[in-house]
Amino acid sequence: MAKTAVCPGSFDPVTQGHMDIIRRASSLFDNVIVVVMTNTAKQAMFTKEERVEFLKRATAGLGNVKVEYYDGLLADYTKLKGASVIVKGLRALSDFEYEFQMALTNRKINPKVETVFLTTTAEYMYLSSSLVKQVARLGGDVSDFVPECIIDDITKKVKHTNADKAASGKM
Ligand code: ADP
């Protein structure tokens, strides 16, 4: 039976670290669904439509990968899609406790799902969406951190946000 894996995250925005995990998942499983979710603990810079669109562009060359948005519980989504694996990336020990808790919770809700952890590639160990946003907001070059096809959108968004803040006197 074909194995479907899901790669969940907020992807705000997608980074080379995410792409590394997605590429490796796509070579391990028959089908991969990258699922964009809303992390209520974080204030998103990009809309869900933008985050999905960026991922679609970045994964266009990976034939067995598709991108969707889901607003509910990940464990329910895996049931809905008949996915048996959740793929997550681990950067450091600090990721572990939270991910461990999430994996146990997801298995409790959907006992048929296994969470598989891929260790980050060393060069992306420091990389996070928050870091990309911080560098971009301060006018830095993010070209080493994100897929090339989304760089212009990040620059535009930052200019737009800065212009809005200036207009409302918050800068
Ligand atoms: P969330 O906001 O839900 O933590 P993210 O979009 O930050 O989601 O990350 C999605 C997934 O990608 C997580 O499993 C995270 O551990 C993994 N990930 C993020 N950055 C990296 C990286 N640089 N290397 C490996 N995995 C990563």
Tell me what pLDDT residue 160 has: 82
Asked if the peptide bond before residue 13 counts as cis, ω within 30 degrees of 0, the response is yes
Which of 7, 14, 18, 20, when mutated, tests ligand 1's pocket best, judged by the most ligand atoms within 8 Å of its CB? 18
Region 98-116 average pLDDT:
94
Check if the beta carbon of residue 89 is closer than 8 Å to that of residue 17.
Answer: yes
Q: Which two tokens stand for residue 113?
A: 């799902």
Beta bridge partners of 118: 89
Region 138-162 average pLDDT:
92
Q: How far apart are CA 19 and CA 123, in angstroms?
A: 13
**For residue 170, pLDDT beyond 70:** no
Region 23-42 average pLDDT:
95
Asked if residue 38 has its Cβ within 6 Å of ligand 1, the reply is no
In tens, the pLDDT along 59-103 reads: 999 999 999 999 999 999 999 999 999 999 999 877 889 999 999
Tell me what pLDDT residue 61 has: 96
Region 135-158 average pLDDT:
94
Q: What is the spatial order of strands in the sheet that 4-9 belongs to?
A: 65-69, 31-36, 4-9, 85-90, 114-119
Q: How far apart are CA 93 and CA 163, in angstroms?
A: 38
Region 113-132 average pLDDT:
94
Asked if residue 13 has its Cβ within 6 Å of ligand 1, the reply is no
The domain segmentation of the chain, as residue ranges, is 4-126
Region 140-159 average pLDDT:
94
List the one residue out of 23, 29, 89 whose CA is nearest residue 61: 23
Q: How far apart are CA 122 and CA 88, in angstroms?
A: 16
**For residue 163, pLDDT beyond 80:** no
- Topology (CATH level 3) of domain 4-126: Rossmann fold (3.40.50)
> Which residue type, as a one-letter code, is found at position 3?
K
Q: How far apart are CA 58 and CA 69, in angstroms?
A: 16
**For residue 41, pLDDT beyond 90:** no
**For residue 165, pLDDT beyond 80:** no
Q: Quote the ligand 1 centre to 170 CA distance (angstroms).
A: 31
